[in-house]
Amino acid sequence: MGKTGLLVSRVCLGTMTFGAKDWGCDRKTSIQLIDLYLNAGGNFIDTADIYAGSASEEIVGEALRDKKRDEIVLATKCFFRTGKSPNAKGLSRKHIIEACEASLRRLQTDYIDLYYMHGADPFAPLEETMRTLNDLVRQGKVRYLGCSNIFSWQILKANGISALFNLEKLTCGQYLYNLINREAEREILPACKDQGMGVTCWSPLAGGILLGKYQKEEKPTPGTRLFYRSEIDGPRFWHQRGFVMAEKLAELSQKTGISKVQLALSWLLHDKRVTSVIIGVKSENQLKENLVVGDWNLPDEVWEEVNKGTALDLGHLTQFASHAYRTTFGEEET
C-alpha cells in the first residue's frame, strides 16, 4: 500500500451490501462470502460505520471472531452521521474518538488496520482531525490512516499539517474510480502518487451499470440496487456516458473474449498507482469471477484499447501538463 510496508490483496472485499435491507445480503450470506474470500487467499476487508446502519460492521465482527486477526487487514471509516445528537457526525475530536470506539466494539477487535476519513468536515479544523487520528495510532487502536471523498488539495494540506507537527500521515486514498468516472486521473491519482499513498477504488463496476444490468430507461427497475439508491448512485452512473461506456465495454469484451467484469477490474489494476479494487458481491459465483483479476494482469495492448475507448476529457490543465511534458521530455507523463 503506497510506500508503507503493508501488503494487501489486489481485490478487497467491500461490505456495504452486508446487512442492507431490500438490496443487500442477509447476515448468513454475508458471513459465508467473507469465509469464501478469506479461504481464497484474500486478506483485505473494507467496511464503514454507516454501512447498513452499522449492521455491516457487526456482521464483519461476527465473521472474523474466530479468525486469525493478524492475518487480516481490516479497514473502516468515520465521518457521516451515526446518531441524533449534534456531535454524532463529522471529524471533530469528540466524534472521531467516539466513532472509533463504537467501530471497535462492533468489529469485536482491539485495533483497526486502516481508518479512513469518509469525507471532508467543513467545520472541524483539519489540525484537530489529524491530531486526533494521530492519537488513535499512538494508542494502538489504529495502524494506518486514510481518506476518502476529499479533494487533492485537502490530501496535501492534511499531510502538510502532519509533517509540520510530526503526526501520522495519510497512507491511502479510497476513491470512486471506474471506466465511467475517470475524474480521479485529473488530480487524485497524481496527488496520491506524490504523497506515497496507495489508492483503493470503490464502485469499480459502477453499481452494475458497466455490466449491462440496467437498460437505458427513465428510472431504474423497482427492487434493484439503483432503484433503492437512485438519489445517491443515479448522478454517479445513471446518465448518457454511463450507458455509452457500458455498450463500449460490451463490445470490447466480445472482441477480446475477456468478461466485462474482468476487463473493468483489471483495467484499474493495470495502473501501478492503484493498490486494490473494492468489490461488492452477493453470491459465490460473483465472488469467484471478481477474484480472478487478483492473479491475472490485463495485456498492455488490451489495456490501451480499453483506455482509449473510454477516455474522459480531463480539461485544460491536464492537456497543458501532458503537452508540456511531451515537448520537454519527448514522451507522455505516466
Q: Active-site residue numbers?
A: 51
User: Nearest 5°: phi and psi at 144?
Assistant: -135, 155
Q: How far apart are CA 42 and CA 8, in angstroms?
A: 8
Q: How many helices (H) and strands (E) does the chain have?
A: 13, 8
- Report which residue type is found at 303: W
Q: What is the dihedral sign for C-alpha 267, 268, 271, 276?
A: negative
**Angle 85-59-81 from CA coordinates, rounded to 5°:** 20
| Rounded-to-integer distance, Cα 222 and Cα 182, Å | 28
**Residues in Cβ contact with 306 at an 8 Å cutoff, skipping those fewer than 6 apart:** 179, 249, 252, 263, 267, 298
Residue 219 in grid coordinates: 428510472
Output the CA angle 24-177-144, nearest 5 degrees. Answer: 80
